[in-house]
Amino acid sequence: MLAINDAAQRKLIYRGGGVNKILSPTIDNARLFAVLGVKSYGFNQAMFPQQLADRGVDDTEAFPVYPYRDDALLIWDAIHTWVTDYLKTYYADDATVQNDQDLQRWTRELVSAKGGRVVDFGEDGEIKTLAYLIEAATLIIFTVSAQHAAVNFPQKGLMSFAPGMPAAGYSPLTNLGENTTEQDYLDLLPPLPQAQEQFKLCHLLGSAHFTQLGQYEPGHFTDAQIQAPLQQFQTRLEEIEGIIHKRNRDRPVYEYLLPTLIPQSINI
């Protein structure tokens, strides 16, 4: 994740880079929107089940076909169980969490204006309970693995086709009105060189898979107590893989959250 963040600053979101070439605003304005987005992103409001409820899309009867929601909840629950088993190995209760000074210093650094500047993190500026620590760790892992996969990999199959998802308009909007013609809409589409840039960039970003959720190098965990929870996590991900394949027989095919296609973290 550190490597791709550094590469993005140098190649992807710099002046004249791929993003600058295909988006309508200047790269400076695009970065401004990103900053505003980060400032308005409340960590505690981003817990996935709560986010679905806040958006009004958690009701499966009112909104029965939503593959992203249904598959992501499976992944969220699997990560939550894995995190719970892992952290309970080392934190016996809330007092153990509160007395971990390294953890509390990390929390203060995350919310500090001179540090991470994360909005709405922790419990009154601290981590006071084991339950919150589990939720926070689950959200972090889920965001950089499954959530990123769900928004990154569709770039190849969906966003690379410029007429289907143009990144900018290329004709004055004043032409549109009651007498709008098909040609007026076609004139809005990116010219061929721009469409090619969009295809190359989105195809690249949506193609690379370097790691796999739940898979670690041999010896990564040296504590024997972790082996059983890890095996359970990996087994559950295999089960979810089968569940998603089965679901895809009876719904629009959605494969972006197949566990074998979810990297461990942001790497492209």
Between the two ends of the chain, the Cα-to-Cα distance in Å is: 8
pTM higher than 0.75, yes or no? Answer: yes
Answer whether 148's CB lies under 8 Å from 208's CB. no
In a domain, 37, yes or no: yes
Query: Does any domain span residue 267?
Result: no
Q: Cα–Cα distance between 93 and 129 in angstroms, integer?
A: 8
Secondary structure of residue 17 in the 3-state scheme: coil
Domain, as residue range, for 212: 2-261
Give the whole-angstrom CA distance, residue 19 versus residue 202.
Answer: 10
For residue 254, being part of any structural domain is answered with yes
pLDDT one digit per residue (tens) for the chain, 268 residues? 888 889 888 888 888 888 888 888 888 898 899 889 988 889 999 999 999 999 999 999 999 999 999 999 999 999 999 999 999 999 999 999 999 999 999 999 999 999 999 999 999 889 999 999 999 999 999 999 999 999 999 999 999 999 999 998 888 777 667 878 888 888 889 999 999 999 999 999 999 888 999 999 999 999 999 999 999 999 999 999 999 999 999 999 999 999 999 999 988 7
Query: How many domains, in total, are found in the chain?
Result: 1
Closest CA to 50 of 135, 127, 107: 135
CA angle in degrees (0–180, nearest 5) for 183-186-190: 150
266 within domain boundaries: no
CATH number for 73: 1.20.245.10
